[in-house]
Amino acid sequence: MLSRGVMTQSLTIPRPDDWHLHLRDGDMLRAVLPETARDFGRAIVMPNISPPVRTGADAAAYRDRILAALPEGMTFEPLMTLYLTEETDPSDVAAAFETGIATAVKLYPAGATTNSAYGVKDFTKIYPVLEKCAEIGMPLCVHGEVVDNDVDVFDREAVFIDRVLDPIRQEIPDLKCVLEHMTTRDAVDYVNSSDDGLLAGTITTHHLIINRNDILAKGLRAHNYCLPVAKREEHRLALRAAAISGHPRIFLGTDSAPHTDANKFQPCGCAGIFTATVTMPLMAQIFEAEGALDKLENFASRFGPAFYGKSVHETTMTLEKQDVPVAFPKSIEAAEGPVTVFDPGYPIFWKVV
């Protein structure tokens, strides 16, 4: 519901969900969880903690730690994922899904991103798990990049679709897949070309805002470095068009990923952008700028639950536009050090009220 007043403009939508989130563990979990739980009702929680969440028992224990870290008075449902390895047991995966412990399995190509060393090198070895997932209707969430040294980092997503994802989907046509954190027109086109209802794509907050110039031009900006890395402007514009398109299988997955400033500024700095604090105000501002504020409800609150077979929240969120910029914290304090909140490079005029 969109309303306008003399000095304000507001939008009320069902409470949104985050379909791709990193919460880490321990002190970092306790520091960043409130930033997500304040706005989002549910989130698909990534399993690449250390050690990773590889079994149903791991997922149940991690879920308990998340719920124990949730501040009193906040409501939030973590949807757990299992870290797929070449040794993953299909029966354990099925049991975790059927008992409600795990919502999806997550495919990391080995070496593709943070804590992905346990990931997959030989994709044929995971076919028994994927066949079981197809049989029971359990989604496969995909970090869509190859890691071959002969493939340019800016081409890794497009090559992954051709070499890995499409062959998997051809071999196991009933498998439900989510191509997470899309960064290219190629990924958008691939999701758009699928007409079987089994392929979805998520888009992050930051990939709607930054391109590769925002990482590399005028000096290296570590806080804008993520994986998959932001691409050319033409790809950012394709993502913006996809987000507002009303495609029912394209929805919000922030990939909000906390790292301390000290870890971001290492000689080999960590990949990840922490966006949880500002995502929904930025979503309102982006969709307003695109003349599509009425499309935000579907992108943030409806399309994700529909794909994952969840109900839309009965509770609501109201976003309100201010006539002066809203002040957000520059960082979140964790025991290990500060975690910088994503700065889009321009004033934000929307806030959650």
Q: Output the six-digit token pair for 258.
A: 């906390």
Helix (H) or strand (E) holding 64: helix 56-69
Q: Respond yes or no: is residue 255 known to be catalytic.
A: yes
For residues 81 and 105, the answer to whether their CB atoms sit within 8 Å is: yes
CA 248 – CA 291 distance, rounded (Å): 19
Q: For residue 299, which of 207, 206, 201, 231 has the smallest C-alpha distance?
A: 201
Nearest CA-CA partner of 338 in 262, 285, 282, 283: 262
Helices (H), 199-265: 213-216, 233-243, 261-264
Of these residues, 255, 294, 323, 343, which one is catalytic?
A: 255
Closest CA to 200 of 144, 282, 280: 144
Residue the block writes with tokens 């959650």: 352
**C-alpha span between 74 and 220 (Å, rounded):** 38
Q: How many CB atoms lie within 10 A of CB 197?
A: 10
Q: Which helix (H) or strand (E) holds 304?
A: helix 303-308
Tokens found for residue 168: 């998997």
Burial 210-238 (b: 16+ CB within 10 A, else e): bbbebbeeeeebbbbbbbbbbbeeebbeb
Supply the DSSP string of 22-49, one letter for each residue. Answer: ---SHHHHHHHHHHHHTT-SEEEE---S
Report the catalytic residues. 255
